[in-house]
Amino acid sequence: GAVVSQHPSWVICKSGTSVKIECRSLDFQATTMFWYRQFPKQSLMLMATSNEGSKATYEQGVEKDKFLINHASLTLSTLTVTSAHPEDSSFYICSAREWGALGYGYTFGSGTRLTVV
């Protein structure tokens, strides 16, 4: 089945630094990827939808200058958390849309646990 590889699995960084998270679709082309954030005991909150070759669409309340999304190829989307602060500590998960025999589905990366100290 479809596989989305997400790296790194976890990262600890100092406040004020930037962190880049990568998501790759390994055996299919993902024209659309989604980025979610999940705080403890809460659900996944959609941050943005990225389409290959165009600007991402951010959800209300998500700062596009802080969470930079690049989807330059059909198999790679990146999320960069710029000038990270402790409140950015969260579980970040990407998801790629792929077409199957019964229509489209969504495959998730394994997530990145970000801790900002």
Partner 1 sequence: RKEVEQDPGPFNVPEGATVAFNCTYSNSASQSFFWYRQDCRKEPKLLMSVYSSGNEDGRFTAQLNRASQYISLLIRDSKLSDSATYLCAVNMKTSYDKVIFGPGTSLSVIP
Is beta strand 112-116 parallel, antiparallel or unpaired with respect to 10-13?
A: parallel
Tell me the two tokens of residue 34: 């989604």
Tell whether residue 95 is a contact of partner 1 (CB under 8 A): yes
Site for partner 1 (CB under 8 A): which residue of 17, 18, 29, 42?
42
Q: Are 109 and 92 in contact (CB under 8 A)?
A: no
* Binding-site member from 14, 43, 60, 86 for partner 1 (CB under 8 A): 43
CB 19 within 8 A of CB 90: no
Q: Candidates 17-25, 72-80, 82-90, 105-113: pick the segment binding partner 1 (CB under 8 A).
A: 105-113
> Binding marks (x or -) toward partner 1, 75..94, rule CB under 8 A?
----------------x-x-
Are the beta carbons of 33 and 77 closer than 8 angstroms? yes
Q: Does 57 bind partner 1 (CB under 8 A)?
A: yes
Shortest spacing between CB 16 and partner 1, in angstroms: 27
Contact 107, 12 (CB under 8 A): no
